[in-house]
């Protein structure tokens, strides 16, 4: 793969001032199934914006979605492509279609952000050789030989981006052949958007009303799609414990798309009814205004029961000054400072064992009991922490650096 990238770099690379390789005038194609809500999709838009700012053409091969208009607004170009299909026959047809797109558009680099389109892209590289970059946006569960083989495509790039140290270690363990091509680039947050000063109080008030929250109620927010491993059941059980312990005046908000999981939605509703929490726990659907949502929250919970590949909600919540309580599992702990790694007075949130409703309830109670001065100090620490390590600028700069490395035929900088 490196030899392929070296050949392309030698024949096609334009150079900037001082003879250094530049992305100006280059065309980078990112391929992703759809442009709907999600970390991979948002990162696609952010990188497209950075590419345009660097003088490159930013193409996205995708079936489109709600973020298409944002892609266009930042100067990116959508190339309509059936990238979501997992049908083997249709994927085989997509190989020549993608190779043709690469040649017709003068694509210099291909960046795959999902497994099925990554297999298509990898095969298309044989027909239209280009440097190939992949990103592990998820931990990609699966222990069978077949599933591990299917997932392995994300480790077959000339450069393999891991969105956390947890993910990087997983790649090294499962796919040691990729060890020397991994670059750790954490997801970056837009701290201009996720800033308390940038949110009009009217937005917060409007959101609270839409959630049915009374003015005096405090909100515990879990913002994630409705799927079992995101921990909605654990939060409901923790809410029950807190309610039985005498904690009142708190509304627990589950914000996220059901994405067709109607059986799980019914299960959650039945659990809420059985716990006597009707009117206390609220499902509110997808939330478009996440900065206002985090600002409205007294505490943000991330009680995942399976490993997260990153901790986007925890980062954005900390940027907004909200105390966070997260499962001590996967990559999320990388985003939150908490004992025993640091003194209690330096914490930016709480970590609890996954699936432990009692521990979650205790941490939520601690966070809700913070006085004004303590909460303000925690908010300052949290904001400074995420600005230092998880900025959008850091992420896009590092990603563009990986593109340059791939064009030069050398491995990315190791973490």
Considering the domain architecture, whether residues 402 and 327 belong to the same structural domain is answered as no
- Residue 12's pLDDT band, with cuts at 50, 70 and 90, is very low
User: Looking at the structure, do residues 130 and 274 belong to the same domain, yes or no?
Assistant: no
Mean pLDDT of 220-230: 96
Residues 382 and 399 in one domain: no
Cβ proximity of 108 and 133 under 8 Å: no
Q: What is the mean pLDDT of residues 131-140?
A: 91
Q: Are strands 324-327 and 299-302 parallel, antiparallel or unpaired?
A: parallel
Neighbours of 135 (CB within 10 A): 28
CA distance 217 to 232: 20
Is residue 175 domain-shared with residue 321, that is, in the same domain? Answer: no
CA–CA separation, 382 vs 375, rounded Å? 10
Which domain covers residue 217, as residue numbers?
A: 196-389
- CATH number assigned to the domain comprising residue 306: 3.40.50.2000
User: Percent of the chain beyond pLDDT 90?
Assistant: 88
Q: Which of 55-59, 142-146, 274-278, 330-334 has the lowest mean pLDDT?
A: 142-146
Residue 113 lies in a domain: yes
Domain co-membership, 164 together with 263: no
Q: Is the domain of 119 the same as that of 230? A: no
Tell me if 29 sits within 8 A of 60, measured CB to CB. yes
Mean pLDDT, to the nearest integer, of 130-157? 91
Q: What is the pLDDT of residue 13?
A: 38
* C-alpha to C-alpha distance for 93 and 357, rounded to whole angstroms: 48
**The pLDDT of residue 223:** 96
In a domain, 413, yes or no: no
Per-residue pLDDT band for 413 (boundaries 50, 70, 90) equals low
Phi, psi of 328 (to 5 degrees): -85, 70
Candidate from 132-136, 141-145, 158-162 with smallest mean pLDDT: 141-145
- Do 170 and 51 lie in a common domain? yes
Residues 160 and 213 reside in one and the same domain? no
pTM of the entire structure?
0.86
Q: Indicate if the pLDDT at residue 407 is higher than 70.
A: yes
Q: Are residues 30 and 166 in the same domain?
A: yes
Q: How does DSSP classify residue 411?
A: P
Q: What is the mean pLDDT of residues 54-68?
A: 96
- Predicted pLDDT of residue 20: 56
Q: Give dist(CA 380, CA 42) in Å, integer.
A: 26
Whether 264 shows a pLDDT value over 80: the answer reads yes
Looking at the predicted structure, is the pLDDT value of residue 4 above 70? no
Mean pLDDT in the chain?
A: 93
Residue 65 zone, left/alpha/beta (φ > 0; ψ -120 to 50; rest): left
Residue 289 has, within 13 A of its CA and on its CB side, a CA count of 19
Residue 294 has pLDDT above 60, yes or no: yes
> Which of 129-133, 285-289, 373-377 is the least confident region?
285-289
Which residue has 């043709």 as its token pair?
A: 100
pLDDT tier at 409, thresholds 50, 70, 90 = confident
Q: Is the pLDDT of residue 242 over 90?
A: yes
Same domain, 169 and 292: no
Report the number of distinct structural domains present in the chain. 2
Residue 7 scores a pLDDT above 60: no
Domain shared by 124 and 271, yes or no? no
Q: Tell me what the mean pLDDT of segment 218-239 comes to.
A: 97
As a whole number, mean pLDDT of residues 81-100 equals: 97
Indicate the range of 2-6, 51-55, 214-218, 399-403 predicted with least confidence: 2-6
Banded model confidence at residue 5, pLDDT cuts 50, 70, 90: very low
Q: What is the mean pLDDT of residues 248-276?
A: 95
Cis status, amide bond into 340, omega within 30 of 0: yes
Whether residue 202 is found in the same domain as residue 318: yes
pLDDT bracket for residue 138 (50, 70, 90): confident
- Regarding predicted confidence, which is higher, 15 or 9? 15
Higher confidence at residue 200 or residue 142? Answer: 200
pLDDT at 2 over 70: no
Q: Determine the angle formed by the axes of helices 312-319 and 372-389, rounding to 10 degrees.
A: 120
Return the pLDDT at 54: 97
- pLDDT over threshold 90, residue 291: yes
Residue 415 lies in a domain: no
Does residue 414 lie within any of the structural domains?
Answer: no
* Tokens, residue 72: 């266009």
The pLDDT of 238-262, averaged and rounded, is 95
- Which of the pair, 62 or 16, is modelled with greater confidence? 62
Give residue-wise pLDDT tens across range 342-363.
999 999 999 999 999 999 999 9
């Amino acid at each position: 793969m490196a030899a392929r990238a070296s050949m392309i770099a030698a024949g096609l690379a334009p150079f900037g001032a001082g003879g250094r390789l530049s992305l100006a005038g280059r065309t980078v194609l990112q391929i992703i199934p759809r442009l709907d809500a999600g970390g991979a999709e948002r990162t696609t838009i952010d990188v497209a914006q950075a590419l345009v700012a660097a003088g490159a053409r930013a193409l996205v091969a995708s079936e489109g979605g709600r973020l298409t208009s944002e892609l266009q607004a930042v100067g990116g170009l959508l190339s309509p492509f059936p990238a979501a299909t997992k049908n083997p026959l249709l994927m085989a047809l997509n190989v020549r279609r993608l190779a043709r797109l690469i040649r017709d558009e003068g694509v210099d680099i291909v960046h795959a952000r999902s497994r099925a389109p990554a297999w298509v892209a990898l095969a298309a590289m044989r027909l239209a050789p280009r440097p190939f970059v992949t990103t592990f946006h998820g931990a990609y569960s699966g222990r069978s030989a077949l599933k591990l083989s299917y997932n392995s495509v994300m480790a077959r790039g000339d450069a393999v981006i891991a969105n956390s140290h947890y993910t990087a270690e997983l790649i090294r363990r499962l796919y040691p052949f990729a060890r020397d091509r991994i670059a750790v680039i954490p997801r970056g947050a837009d701290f201009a958007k996720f800033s308390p000063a940038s949110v009009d109080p009217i937005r917060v008030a409007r959101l609270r009303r839409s959630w049915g929250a009374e003015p005096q109620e405090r909100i515990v927010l879990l913002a994630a799609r409705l799927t079992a491993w995101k921990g909605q059941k654990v939060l409901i059980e923790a809410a029950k414990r807190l309610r039985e312990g005498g904690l009142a005046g708190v509304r627990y908000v589950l914000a996220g798309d059901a994405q067709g999981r109607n059986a799980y939605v019914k299960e959650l509703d039945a659990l809420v009814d059985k716990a006597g929490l009707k009117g206390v726990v609220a499902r509110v659907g997808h939330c478009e205004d996440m900065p206002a949502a985090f600002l409205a929250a007294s505490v943000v919970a991330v009680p995942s029961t399976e490993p997260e590949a990153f901790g986007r909600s925890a980062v954005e919540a900390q940027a907004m000054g909200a105390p966070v309580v997260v499962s001590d599992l996967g990559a999320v702990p990388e985003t939150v400072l908490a004992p025993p790694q640091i003194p209690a007075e330096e914490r930016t949130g709480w970590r609890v064992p996954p699936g432990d409703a009692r521990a979650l309830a205790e941490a939520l109670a601690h966070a809700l009991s913070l006085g004004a001065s303590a909460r303000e100090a925690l908010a300052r620490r949290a904001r400074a922490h995420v600005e230092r390590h998880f900025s959008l600028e850091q992420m896009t700069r590092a990603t563009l650096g990986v593109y340059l490395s791939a064009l030069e035929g050398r491995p990315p900088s190791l973490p």
